[in-house]
Amino acid sequence: MSKSILITGGAGFIGSHVVQLFVEKYLDYKIINLDCLTYAGNLENLKEVENASNYIFEKVNLLDVDELRRVFEVHQVTDVIHLAAESHVDRSISDPLAFVNTNVIGTVNLLNVAKTYWRDLQDHLFYHVSTDEVYGSLDHGGFFTETTPYDPQSPYSASKAASDHFVRAYSNTYGMKTVITNCSNNYGPNQFPEKLIPLCIHNIKNNRPLPVYGKGENIRDWLFVVDHARAIDMVFHKGKVGETYNVGGFNEWKNIDIVKLLCQKMDEKLGRETGSSEKLITYVTDRAGHDMRYAIDASKIQNELGWEPSLQFEEGISKTIDWYLDNEDWLNSVTSGDYQKYYQERYK
Ligand code: NAD
Ligand code: DAU
């Protein structure tokens, strides 16, 4: 095996697409998926690769340093792609400490173990996957670039900003080879239905209210998850060490317009009368400290590495809805049990 890559958070939404891409494309790499399987981690997301000879799963928590050491030792980890995190802004508002633990302390644990295990830091890469939310909130003009100052506004984005700073500090202080990408909102198969798009698909299917925060005018820049995985592949192999790359969809939407698009597409797919799902739209209390707009200028990764999104939004949304409709068992299993409790408390 030419590389032994530790991918953290590989059972989650984005991680599962990254693991699948790497396992299928790089048969000479050993891919170790390290994940502690929180509510957001699901091995069902990895059905297509679970028996591959170059793939192995390790159920380990980033807070368990002894276990992290064991994984590095046993698998002789050469590189890290770090995705594991608490990722949902609403949960960070009700339980910030969980985000400090996994996103900040968990990341520092991983950096420490890598630093002590890797003898010559020049032979190894630590790739940290982050978010555009670290840059704060935009009004109606301008874009986030790689030089936009950090200005995180939620406990989630503050924890991700802290983890980004630690990764840069390990590069500057110890000479660790690092790279960071900051990506905009992802959508697609395997996303846990606490996030806007899968939550609305699930609720439209079940004729339940579609909770739109505030006036629905907040804007997000959406990217199909497989295009994010392709970007990670490119940056891992061709990105300049020590650099940051912003990844985005060049695709800004107001929340209310996305919800209406989902209603329209699902009316068509489910054979419902036009306009019937829109009646489910319910304006609810706004998210505390709700960031107004995110928009990424992705020209650096486009110009330097030749990456660009491969899928138009309407095609990606259509594929995403089809996936959720075709994978009813997946949706039913993740929305039973704890999800019901979360949903009741959040949307009561
Ligand atoms: P997710 O919540 O779907 O998955 C996170 C995964 O991490 C889960 O499998 C979970 O079990 C695992 N995990 C959580 N805590 C852990 C711990 N202490 N130890 C080991 N594993 C743990 O998240 P996602 O949406 O796939 O996001 C992945 C990464 O990408 C995150 O770092 C997130 O900040 C970043 N990101 C997400 C988006 C997005 O739109 N979803 C956009 C930009 C960046
Ligand atoms: O920008 C990247 C970030 O995108 C990632 O770093 C985060 O991990 C990811 O969760 C996502 O954060 P958002 O807060 O933008 O995603 P979410 O799907 O939770 O919300 C999208 C928008 O929809 C946001 O403006 C809030 C709004 N919303 C969300 C939910 C869950 C609603 O109006 N109603 C809802 O019920």
Task: State the pLDDT at residue 340.
Answer: 92
| pLDDT tens digits for range 63-105 | 999 999 999 999 999 999 999 999 999 999 999 999 999 999 9
| pLDDT tens digits for range 242-272 | 999 999 999 999 999 999 999 999 999 999 9
Quickly state the pLDDT bin for 1 (edges 50, 70, 90). Answer: low
**CATH 1.10.620.20 is the classification of domain 3-187+223-250+289-313:** no
Quickly state the pLDDT bin for 169 (edges 50, 70, 90). Answer: very high
Residues whose CB is less than 8 angstroms from the CB of residue 62 and which lie 6 or more positions away in sequence, other chains included: 8, 34, 36, 68, 84, 102, 105, 106, 107, 109, 110
Quickly state the pLDDT bin for 232 (edges 50, 70, 90). Answer: very high
CA angle 32, 37, 43 (to 5 degrees): 65
Active-site residue (options: 127, 156, 187, 343):
156
For 184-338, strand residue ranges (E) read: 185-187, 210-213, 219-224, 244-247, 252-254, 281-284
The average pLDDT across 162-191 equals: 98
Strands 244-247, 178-183: pairing is parallel
pLDDT at 290 over 80: yes
User: What percentage of residues in the chain have a pLDDT greater than 90?
Assistant: 98
User: What percentage of residues in the chain have a pLDDT greater than 70?
Assistant: 100
Q: What are phi and psi of 195, to 5 degrees?
A: -90, 155
Task: Please state the domain extents for the chain.
Answer: 3-187+223-250+289-313
The ligand 2 site (C-beta within 6 Å) comprises: 87-89, 131-133, 184-185, 195-196, 199, 211-213, 218, 220, 255, 287, 294
Quickly state the pLDDT bin for 121 (edges 50, 70, 90). Answer: very high
Task: State the pLDDT at residue 140.
Answer: 86
Task: State the pLDDT at residue 348.
Answer: 82
Among all ligands shown, which has an atom nearest to the Cα of 127?
Answer: 1
Lowest mean pLDDT across 25-34, 62-71, 333-342:
333-342
Residues whose CB is less than 8 angstroms from the CB of residue 226 and which lie 6 or more positions away in sequence, other chains included: 17, 21, 188, 310, 311
Atom number in ligand 2 closest to CA 346: 36
Q: Is 278 a catalytic residue?
A: no
Residue of 67, 83, 166, 182 with the most ligand 1 atoms within 8 Å of its CB, for mutation: 83
CA angle 40, 62, 11 (to 5 degrees): 30
